[in-house]
Amino acid sequence: MPASSEAASLQPVNDEHYLRQDGEFENGQSKKKCKIRTMDAFCREQRIEALDFIKCDTEGAEKMVFSGADGVLREFRPIVYTEMLRKHAKRFGYHPNELIELFKGYGYSCYREEGRRLIPFEIMDEETVETNFFFLHRENHGKLVERYVI
């Protein structure tokens, strides 16, 4: 765990974005042991029978989170609102476009928010500024798509 950072996650913070003014990386990292389980395992353990919405902001670990949610995404098809930043994903060895592809495999499409409307979003490139995206399932969220998508 970094001593202080908006990018606290399971990976050390050591890229140039997190250099302090004195040119040193944020230090004071410490280790903590904690139980980790997949979203699928958690939902089974808690006997969750319905799940409508997931908000995920794990500073780059989003692919890990959703890789452990196969059953949840197939069975419940929740609306997903998640952060996707290239700089955070890079620390975990993937590109945010891999998340877009992962969700496509479950029947979801990606959208960015503009005002109170949703704009289809296909691919993240170096010009992408947005950080949070919606994933809507084509069958479960058709009425939302009709109402909010440009």
**Edge-to-edge strands, sheet with 117-120:** 53-56, 79-83, 132-137, 108-114, 117-120
What pTM was computed for the model?
0.81
With a CB cutoff of 8 Å and minimum separation 6, the contacts of 141 are 77, 79
User: In the structure, how many helices (H) and strands (E) does the chain have?
Assistant: 6, 5
**What is the model's pLDDT at position 33?**
79
How far from the centroid of its chain's Cα atoms is residue 58's Cα? 7
What is the pLDDT tens value at each position of the chain, 150 positions in all? 555 555 555 555 555 555 555 555 455 556 677 888 999 999 999 999 999 999 999 989 999 999 999 999 999 999 999 999 998 899 899 999 999 999 999 999 999 999 889 999 999 999 998 899 999 999 999 998 999 887
The two structure tokens encoding residue 106: 């479950």
Residue 132, phi then psi, degrees to nearest 5: -115, 140
Give dist(CA 40, CA 78) in Å, integer.
13
Q: Cα 119–104–51 angle (5° rounding)?
A: 85
**What is the model's pLDDT at position 1?**
55
Write the CA distances from 106 to 69, 73, 97, 137, integer angstroms. Answer: 11, 7, 15, 8
**What is the model's pLDDT at position 59?**
87
**What is the model's pLDDT at position 12?**
56
